[in-house]
Chain A
Amino acid sequence: MAKIHAGDCDFLSGGTDLLPNYKCGLNAHGHVISLQHIAELKQIGRDSKGAFTIGAGVTLAEIERNTEVPRGLADCAAHVASPLLRASGTLGGNLMLDNRCHFFNQSYFWRRSLGYCLKADGDRCHVVPQINEGGKSVLNNKVCVATHSSDLAPMLIALGAEATFVGPDGKRTIKLNDFYWGDGIARFDRKPGEILSHVTLPPWAFNVRSGWKKLAPRQSIDFSVVGVAAVLELDGDKVKTLRVALGAVDTTPVLFDFSQQEKRREPGHYLFVDAYKNMPEAVGKKLDDALIETIAKHVQTQAQPKLNVPMAPDYRKKMCGVLTRRLLTELRGGGK
């Protein structure tokens, strides 16, 4: 069916992100294909080969209540939006969540008053109106910096998850971290007609400590304005594995793999910050307060939140450091 409507269809899972956007007339497609009744997408647990998979149609509420998934993931799911939204919202929907921007997530009336924006119906970005091109400041009609606001994406990326897609050309599996493109509009690497089937957690994800910290104006309902996911494996008091991923501070989740195992994709656009630049060495070192502070500072320095979701960017940037420090301290103590 997706083939028939190629290019003019959206897939609908929980609907908690797609429908509000449709109601605002945001990039609505002529056809919507519901994935609601595909049982295969709703599986969570070990597959026949013993790999732990979570189907794209599994609701956030189910992940929250699942006792097998890494604690950080359950905790992360439990803090998405509100209980009502988690009852409908799914893993797939959360990973495909459209990037958010206060110039974009508005009604038709509002956007018409503004003169529209790059991400919908318009030709310029109002968050970063000018960009530097060849040493000259020019009108930004290229780069959308809408914020990637998914919570599960940074958490699963920290956990090293892989995503499996099925589409007209068959099945493919990629690292979730390679899925996101770093552009507020193109967003991710999904081929036409393809759907996310499931994510797979690597075996090591079950042997590490994982955690999640979310910053939002209210303690329920809201999207994150900063999210910090961390995965920690200690060898005695020394770091064996340490991965931190930020949500809601850039156009994609931002992974900091202090274990230096995973290199980040090439920056997708002009504003992208290289999370690995000047990264402190952590593996083999004792995770004392000083190292935690160094790591937190690095994360904070690298984070480049934009003024396009609630709460000021400088404040959110600072909070990246505070939350990272707190989370790592908690994980060092064994987690919650």
Chain B
Amino acid sequence: MSKRLLKFVVNGRQAEVAVEPHHTLASVLRNELNLTGTKVGCDMGTCGCCTVHIDGKAKLSCLTLALECQGAQVRTIEGLNEYEMHPLQRAFAECGGSQCGYCTPGFIMKSCELLEQNPDPSRQEIKEALAGNLCRCTGFMKIYDAVEQAAGELRKKNTQQPAPAKV
């Protein structure tokens, strides 16, 4: 099959890649764009390791064909660490929410979507949001701690400095 040109924005940066039509977003991010922070755990949508944001929504990149992202805005775990680490990233480290680390990018991306929609989630809401992500190390407790800590930090940050007006 012949390659097609995929033009999209990844972590705020224009990307143009020639991709096979059957290649997934996960494989293009990892193999073509070297964004290896996105992990592939089960390759069938059941572990959540490969979660990225497509146009602001947390999606499984292993079940998304790359060409479906034509013109889309994609954000990966690397995109959360520009100029400073995202509070979720710091919180996952500080609270012990990451042990072997392989599921961590997926958990953080899904949690990030949650906090963007719901800045003050209850523990039950966190659980519900993360119910499609599997972690084999932590038993989830410290992941919930991390999301709660980050949520608190983000709320504090947002009250201190109101977000700049969208251009």
A-side residues, CB < 8 A to B, are 12, 14-16, 19-20, 22-23, 32, 34, 36, 81-85, 87-88, 219-221
Tell whether, in the assembled complex, residue B63 and residue A83 are in contact, meaning their CB atoms are under 8 Å apart: no
A84-B44 in contact given A15-B64, A22-B22, A34-B65 (Cβ < 8 Å)? no
A87-B59 in contact given A220-B131, A220-B132 (Cβ < 8 Å)? yes
Q: Which residue of A lies closest to B44 (CB)?
A: A20
Tell whether, in the assembled complex, residue B65 and residue A84 are in contact, meaning their CB atoms are under 8 Å apart: no
A23 proximity list for chain B (CB < 8 A): 43-44
* Least Cβ–Cβ distance between B26 and chain A, in angstroms: 11
* Least Cβ–Cβ distance between A248 and chain B, in angstroms: 17
A15-B129 in contact given A23-B43, A84-B60 (Cβ < 8 Å)? no
Tell whether, in the assembled complex, residue B65 and residue A88 are in contact, meaning their CB atoms are under 8 Å apart: no
Tally of A-B Cβ pairs under 8 angstroms: 69
Tell whether, in the assembled complex, residue B21 and residue A84 are in contact, meaning their CB atoms are under 8 Å apart: no
Q: How far is the CA of A219 from the CA of B134 in the complex (A)?
A: 13
B74 contacts A by Cβ under 8 Å: no
A19 proximity list for chain B (CB < 8 A): 24, 45, 62-63, 65
B134 proximity list for chain A (CB < 8 A): 221
User: Which B130-159 residues have C-beta < 8 A from chain A?
Assistant: 130-134
B45 proximity list for chain A (CB < 8 A): 16, 19-20, 81, 84-85
* Least Cβ–Cβ distance between A60 and chain B, in angstroms: 12
B122 contacts A by Cβ under 8 Å: no
Q: Which residue of B lies closest to A219 (CB)?
A: B131
Q: How far is the CA of A23 from the CA of B63 in the complex (A)?
A: 10
A84-B110 in contact given A16-B63, A20-B45 (Cβ < 8 Å)? yes
Tell whether, in the assembled complex, residue A82 and residue B132 are in contact, meaning their CB atoms are under 8 Å apart: yes
Q: Which residue of A lies closest to B71 (CB)?
A: A37
Leading 7 A-B pairs by shortest Cβ distance: A82-B132, A84-B132, A220-B131, A20-B44, A19-B63, A83-B132, A15-B63
* Least Cβ–Cβ distance between A80 and chain B, in angstroms: 11
B38 contacts A by Cβ under 8 Å: no
A81-B65 in contact given A32-B21, A88-B59 (Cβ < 8 Å)? no
Tell whether, in the assembled complex, residue A84 and residue B51 are in contact, meaning their CB atoms are under 8 Å apart: yes
Tell whether, in the assembled complex, residue A84 and residue B133 are in contact, meaning their CB atoms are under 8 Å apart: yes
Q: Which residue of B lies closest to A22 (CB)?
A: B22
